[in-house]
Amino acid sequence: MLHRALSICFISVGICITTCQATVKVTETSCTKDASDQCVHTPNAECDNAVSGAKCKCSDGFIEDKTDGSTCVKKVTQTSCVKATADQCEHTPNAECDNAETDAKCKCSDGFIEDKTDGSTCVKKVTETSCAEDTADQCEHTPNAECDNAETDAKCKCSDGFIEDKTDGSTCVKKKVTETSCIKDAADQCKHTPNAECDNVANNAKCKCSDGFIEDKTDGSTCVKVLGGTCKEDRDCTEAGEAGCTDSKCSCKADFGEKDNKCVKTVSGTPCSENGKECENINNSHCDTDKCKCNSGYVMQVDECTAKNSAVSIQLGTLTVLLSGLATLIQQF
């Protein structure tokens, strides 16, 4: 592995300190082929001085690793072998020599595939792993997998709510909300995800996030509230209706307020003309100049006008719920 080194010497006290900075990729390391160069410090690398600014490169059959590019690794299918003798394949678990051709190469054994990271290992897909449900089986080595022995040739499968990862299928990852099948009129998978519901407008019904919620950006397995969530631009907030991105947070636009996790037009944000007909759909309101306004004795609750006593009751009810939750937390500690 290659690192850039930085030496700092304090001559007066006779101290010299060497520190390592960032890891250097193989192909970013300068070299001189006819002299001792940096490439010798990286196994299976050599100097490529076909051009003026010579750089190291991985030798034939090797590639830069996909993690940080500082080492040279060999892909399984690029490793030469001789089946009748001890060969390179034995250094890779679950690989064997395929010498059907003159130029024999290693291959992954049946049921295994090259990993999709850099192809230097053989991994087994969850659904290609044999198992026996009544005994300790291979599935237990894969988190969130179980044995599906409905058929004679039992194989592992991902547990409910999980699917094979899209990289190489060797692990079980949380299923996206919109990848979960459901039946709207029966107990379905959606109920296990808060703020999700069944969208069965089509034959192949799937779960979806309820209005005002979206799949989380990490793995899409949960539904998170749009309003108050992080954003980069206005279109990140469209699921909440008339919302925009302000200070990296989704919030309702001017003249709109939050109700049931969506942005709706407020009473005071509703424009009206001289005859005030626009306010007729809002009980206990009237047109005041060019905007609707709640009548005397009523206060605005987003898009409604409620009696002042009622508004106080709502606020007290909310406060009671908050205090009750706080008391529960205190008892836990």
- Concatenate the DSSP letters of all residues of 269-315 into one string: T-B--TT-GGGTTSTTEEEETTEEEEPTTEEEETTEEEEHHHHHHHH
β-strand 285-288 against 291-294: which pairing, if any? antiparallel
CA distances from 262 to 14, 102, 127, 253 (A): 68, 67, 41, 11
Least confident of 6-20, 172-186, 220-234, 297-311: 6-20
| d(C-alpha 123, C-alpha 181), whole Å | 28
Contact in structure between 139 and 146 (CB atoms under 8 Å): yes
Contact in structure between 160 and 132 (CB atoms under 8 Å): no
DSSP for 80-130, written as a single string: B--TTS--GGGGSTTEEEETTSSS-EEEEPTTEEE-TTTS-SEEE-GGG-B
Give residue 21's pLDDT: 44
Burial 303-312 (b: 16+ CB within 10 A, else e): bbbbeeeebe
Higher pLDDT, 167 or 250: 250
Local confidence band at 307 (pLDDT 50, 70, 90 cut-offs): very high
In sequence order, the β-bridge partners of residue 259 are 262
CB count, 10 Å around CB of 215? 21
Query: Does the pLDDT value for residue 47 go beyond 80?
Result: yes
Helix or strand or coil: residue 25?
Answer: coil
| d(C-alpha 250, C-alpha 35), whole Å | 60
Least confident of 87-96, 221-230, 322-331: 322-331
Local confidence band at 225 (pLDDT 50, 70, 90 cut-offs): very high
Higher pLDDT, 248 or 105: 248
| d(C-alpha 189, C-alpha 170), whole Å | 24
Contact in structure between 118 and 78 (CB atoms under 8 Å): no
DSSP for 190-214, written as a single string: GGGSTTEEEE-SSSS-EEEEPTTEE
Least confident of 130-139, 288-297, 314-323: 314-323
Local confidence band at 13 (pLDDT 50, 70, 90 cut-offs): very low
Least confident of 6-15, 108-117, 289-298: 6-15
Query: Does the pLDDT value for residue 183 go beyond 50?
Result: yes
Query: Does the pLDDT value for residue 255 go beyond 90?
Result: yes
Q: What is the pTM of this model?
A: 0.47
Query: Does the pLDDT value for residue 256 go beyond 90?
Result: yes
Query: Does the pLDDT value for residue 11 go beyond 70?
Result: no
CA dihedral of 212, 218, 221, 226, whole degrees rounded to 10: -10
Query: Does the pLDDT value for residue 265 go beyond 60?
Result: yes
Query: Does the pLDDT value for residue 79 go beyond 70?
Result: yes
- Listed residue (27, 43, 119) closest to 78, CA to CA: 119
- Please report, for the chain, the start and end positions of each structural domain, with discontinuous segments joined by +: 1-74, 273-333
| d(C-alpha 171, C-alpha 9), whole Å | 49
